[in-house]
Structure 1
């Protein structure tokens, strides 16, 4: 059976109080040089004007797409549940999720379809351009690329699963999914604020390898507040607790691993009120990070 050379790509725009940016996102979908796109907007109980803005935009641009849908709910359900609703509503061979504040490069879907022909891939990581606050050239932070020290995407699914216990090597805004994978895996709705990391863990544990190509797909917006937060919160208690809960759920060996004891130390220091920018916290973070890198390198390059 010949593979479809013009597959339907389902673009799922994930929104929640996205009125400030969502028009940019939708216009970038409209501007795609690839024609066969199904557009789904999945909103998670926005209380601003997001839903009405999307409804008006769809009415004005409906002819651009073979299929469009606007999904709404009365109450906020969390990011994973919102993603699951969007995916369930999709009918394309491929699914591309995008947040309602990011934008596509205009050749994103066309380049993806050309690349994916005749390849057995269910999850494909592409490259991203990072921007601070807006997509003006002077606000470009750089290009996200995978680590050259740890060639995560060259590894088997099982090896990827092992390494995901130590860190996250996949950047969700640049990922395409074959819709068929969602017959076996869905986003874990137990963790309301994080949809991607549990999915990578579950996918690789289930035998689905994550592939990579350096095609640029998305302009990813990093808001000023989050930039500052990421640079200072070395031992963010809430993030640590969520990631630890994920690892405890999906890794039987986690309780005897280095990351488990490292996080116990971080949580202890956080409870004791150590300033996240203090010299001691920075030193501990730096040392434990380097130890983690050594373990990861060993597992990726030496162990079988």
Structure 2
């Protein structure tokens, strides 16, 4: 008898009117048979809410939350994650697309893995532009996505995790206390905290499509004298301070120094010099511990 544990897909929408229907359809068109879909709109200023409501007329068993004010990704996600009934959770932006066998491959990997403490599985994806045209693969032939105990590699930026193609056990997310709602973005903090105590497994398959937009979150880190850029970089500083507290070895401290040096470049590009100074002080503290 086949085992199909419930998977909760949390789809977050913010001004995604042009893409949200394609994203939602990619969830209901999965080959995997046991899926719970929860949608939240974070107070969009476009027609996203109306488009979602129209789509829901033909999909009655889907939960929908329309925020009455903008709460941000971390708070909005946590609201739905705590409501989700699934054993596994996917965080899906409403401009991204799951390929039909994405969830089936992720669940098979969890069920057949040799890792005893597996918390997250992730795979490769195709990057597309605003029109859906091919942009490139997230992982190329020169990349080596890691499996197992990857904490030091995540902290040191010698490996990167593809969030769009990832799935996490809900029990792990609960033990971590869900997303840190004090942060402006969630993925790096989640990877670091999860990899401290849980294993990851890479799936060498294309599982999803990630839309690369000119106004996407990642594009704001380097904008000069920008309030959103500052919030993102403040969050990065907070994440690295937390990583220092999680570190257990000198090698992990050395890995964190490499990450700090990389983030310094972004702070300089964004002209966040006060944050740069704080990051410099953090590096000194980490270096003293690495000796």
Q: TM-score, normalised by structure 2?
A: 0.76
Which of 62, 66, 69 is the aligned partner of 1:68?
62
**Is this contact kept in 2: 1:146–1:169, CA < 8 A?**
no
**Is this contact kept in 2: 1:5–1:117, CA < 8 A?**
no
Which of 13, 35, 45 is the aligned partner of 1:15?
13
Could you tell me how far 1:140 is from its partner in structure 2?
0.8
Rounded Cα–Cα distance in structure 1 between residues aligned with 2:242 and 2:85: 31
Per-residue CA deviation, residues 63-112 of structure 1 (Å, 9 max, x unaligned), is: xxxx4211222111111111211211211121112100111112222233
Answer with 139-148 or 255-264: which moved more: 255-264
- What corresponds to 1:257 in structure 2? 257
Is the alpha carbon distance of 1:61 and 1:181 closer, same or farther for their aligned partners in structure 2, counting shifts above 3 Å? same
1:149-188 matches, cutoff 5 A: 151=144, 153-156=146-149, 160-167=150-157, 169-185=160-176, 186-188=178-180
Q: Give the secondary structure class of the aligned counterpart of 1:184.
A: helix
Rounded Cα–Cα distance in structure 1 between residues aligned with 2:46 and 2:74: 21
Could you tell me how far 1:264 is from its partner in structure 2?
5.2
Is the alpha carbon distance of 1:88 and 1:128 closer, same or farther for their aligned partners in structure 2, counting shifts above 3 Å? same
Rounded Cα–Cα distance in structure 2 between residues aligned with 1:148 and 1:269: 27
Whether 1:215 and 2:205 are equivalent positions in the alignment is yes
Answer with 218-227 or 69-78: which moved more: 218-227
Rounded Cα–Cα distance in structure 1 between residues aligned with 2:272 and 2:172: 44
Whether 1:140 and 2:134 are equivalent positions in the alignment is yes
Instruction: Structure 1: give runs of 5+ residues left out of the alignment.
Output: 274-304
Could you tell me how far 1:124 is from its partner in structure 2?
0.4
Whether 1:54 and 2:52 are equivalent positions in the alignment is yes
1:41-120 matches, cutoff 5 A: 41-62=39-60, 67-119=61-113, 120=116
**Is this contact kept in 2: 1:42–1:85, CA < 8 A?**
no
**Is this contact kept in 1: 2:125–2:208, CA < 8 A?**
yes
Rounded Cα–Cα distance in structure 1 between residues aligned with 2:220 and 2:67: 31
- What corresponds to 1:292 in structure 2? none
Is the alpha carbon distance of 1:148 and 1:81 closer, same or farther for their aligned partners in structure 2, counting shifts above 3 Å? same
Per-residue CA deviation, residues 197-245 of structure 1 (Å, 9 max, x unaligned), is: 111111122x0122111122211111145599589879x9735443223
Instruction: Structure 2: give runs of 5+ residues left out of the alignment.
Output: 248-252, 274-291
- What corresponds to 1:281 in structure 2? none
